[in-house]
């Protein structure tokens, strides 16, 4: 009996040892994958300010500048390299950082295309690529990044249509893609992205009707579509700020307007609705350079917080 118990004990210890070795092996492989991926990232960079000077094997990669690892598994979870003066392009090996939650490389001089491998970052929540010179189209593979909450691609040289595949990013809260070369329309399926709070597409070549489906976005409070060729705001009544300057918006301000604060230099016509007096928290009302007629509604006097009012160059 004692011999049998000893045999069982040895077998159990052997199994546990194998499992421990397996887990340890996976961790080593995973850590090595992250280390090599970071080296590949560095190899594509021009680094005149030495921001990546600590990226060498003299210290563990989790201690490299801009790199944060998880405490439990020692895998890279965030890469913060905003405003480091970096040039170069993004290595496709970035997609091997499979535990990455945050990738912030905004405010640099990076160029080239955004690799399709970005879609391998299935845990990513924040992508911030603003203020670089990235080119080409956005990779449709980003639709795999279903945990994304914030996407920033403003002030680059990106082109093409806004990928309809983006509408599968059901957790997205902020999407900012100002000052690029995007064309086409805004996909109506954006109205299904129920967590959206900010949509900022100013300074592109978008055209057509603003989808009525955007009125379904109950959390949306900021919509910036200036310097495009869009029309139709009739159903967008629950915004804190609607920015559609530069003479490309056509139509009337809806009589049910609730929180609009900024509409100027457009082709708006008709009359200013009396319901504008309901905007008791309004502090900036810019409606100059339009085609409004008749009189300024007396209800505007209810806007006690109003600090800036611009109504010139209308038919009032």
For position 23, what pLDDT does the model report? Answer: 40
Asked if residue 137 and residue 43 are part of one domain, the reply reads: yes
Asked if residue 193 and residue 91 are part of one domain, the reply reads: no
The domain that contains 179 carries what CATH number?
A: 3.80.10.10
Interval 189-219: pLDDT, tens: 999 999 999 999 999 999 998 888 888 888 8
What's the pLDDT band for 297 if we cut at 50, 70, 90?
confident
Say if 44 falls within a structural domain: yes
Domain with 196, as residue range(s), is 149-231
Question: How many CA atoms lie less than 13 Å away from 183 in the CB half-sphere?
Answer: 4
- Can you name the residues that pair with 198 across neighbouring β-strands? 174, 222
17-26, 36-45, 57-66, 172-181: segment of lowest average pLDDT: 17-26
Asked if residue 225 and residue 163 are part of one domain, the reply reads: yes
DSSP symbols for 271-286: ---GGGGG-TT--EEE
Report yes or no: 83 and 106 within 8 Å, Cβ to Cβ: yes
Asked if residue 138 and residue 31 are part of one domain, the reply reads: yes
DSSP code, position 293: B
Asked if residue 114 and residue 64 are part of one domain, the reply reads: yes
Asked if residue 153 and residue 109 are part of one domain, the reply reads: no
d(CA 11, CA 204): 67
Domain boundary among 182, 200, 231: 231
Say if 262 falls within a structural domain: no
pLDDT of 63 strictly over 70: yes
Say what the pTM is.
0.78
For position 243, what pLDDT does the model report? Answer: 63
d(CA 79, CA 110): 15
DSSP symbols for 161-199: EPPGGGGG-TT--EEE--SSEEEE---GGGGG-TT--EE
Say if 256 falls within a structural domain: no
Interval 158-173: pLDDT, tens: 999 999 998 899 999 9
Asked if residue 44 and residue 135 are part of one domain, the reply reads: yes
Asked if residue 125 and residue 193 are part of one domain, the reply reads: no
123, 29, 17, 48: which is closest to 79 by C-alpha?
A: 123
Say if 126 falls within a structural domain: yes
Question: How far does Cα 1 stand from its chain's mean position?
Answer: 66
Domain boundary among 183, 198, 231: 231
Asked if residue 155 and residue 57 are part of one domain, the reply reads: no
Say if 226 falls within a structural domain: yes
- Our CA angle for 47, 52, 53, nearest 5°, is 100
pLDDT of 18 strictly over 80: no
Tally of domains within the chain? 2
8-17, 90-99, 183-192, 207-216: segment of lowest average pLDDT: 8-17
Asked if residue 211 and residue 173 are part of one domain, the reply reads: yes
Say if 165 falls within a structural domain: yes
Domain boundary among 181, 215, 231: 231
d(CA 77, CA 123): 9
Say if 270 falls within a structural domain: no
Q: Is 96 left (phi over 0), alpha (psi -120 to 50) or beta?
A: alpha
Asked if residue 161 and residue 224 are part of one domain, the reply reads: yes
Strand-pair category, 250-251 with 229-231 = unpaired
For position 268, what pLDDT does the model report? Answer: 59
102, 104, 100, 111: which is closest to 46 by C-alpha?
A: 111
């Amino acid at each position: 009996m004692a011999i049998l118990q000893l045999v069982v004990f040895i077998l159990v210890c052997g199994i546990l040892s194998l499992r421990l070795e397996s887990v340890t092996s996976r961790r080593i492989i995973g850590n090595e994958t992250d280390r090599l991926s970071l080296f590949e990232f560095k190899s594509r960079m021009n680094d005149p300010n030495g921001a990546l000077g600590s990226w060498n094997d003299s210290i563990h990669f989790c201690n490299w500048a801009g790199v944060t690892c998880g405490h439990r598994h020692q895998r890279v979870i965030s890469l913060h390299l905003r405003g480091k003066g970096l040039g170069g392009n993004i290595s496709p090996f970035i997609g091997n950082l499979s535990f990455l939650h945050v990738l912030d490389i905004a405010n640099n001089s990076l160029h080239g295309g955004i690799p399709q491998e970005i879609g391998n970052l299935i845990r990513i929540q924040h992508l911030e690529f603003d203020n670089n010179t990235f080119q080409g189209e956005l990779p449709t593979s980003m639709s795999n990044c279903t945990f994304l909450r914030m996407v920033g691609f403003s002030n680059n040289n990106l082109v093409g249509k806004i990928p309809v595949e983006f509408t599968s990013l059901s957790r997205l809260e902020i999407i900012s893609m100002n000052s690029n070369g995007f064309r086409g329309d805004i996909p109506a399926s954006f109205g299904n992205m129920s967590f959206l709070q900010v949509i900022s597409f100013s300074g592109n070549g978008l055209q057509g009707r603003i989808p009525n489906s955007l009125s379904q976005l109950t959390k949306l409070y900021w919509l910036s579509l200036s310097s495009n060729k869009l029309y139709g705001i009739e159903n967008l009544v629950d915004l804190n700020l609607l920015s559609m300057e530069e003479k490309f918006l056509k139509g009337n301000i809806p009589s049910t307007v609730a929180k609009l604060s900024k509409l100027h230099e457009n082709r708006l016509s008709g009359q200013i609705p009396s319901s504008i007096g309901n905007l008791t928290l309004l502090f900036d009302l810019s409606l100059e350079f339009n085609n409004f007629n008749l009189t300024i509604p007396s209800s505007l006097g209810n806007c006690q917080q109003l600090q800036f009012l611009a109504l010139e160059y209308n038919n009032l």
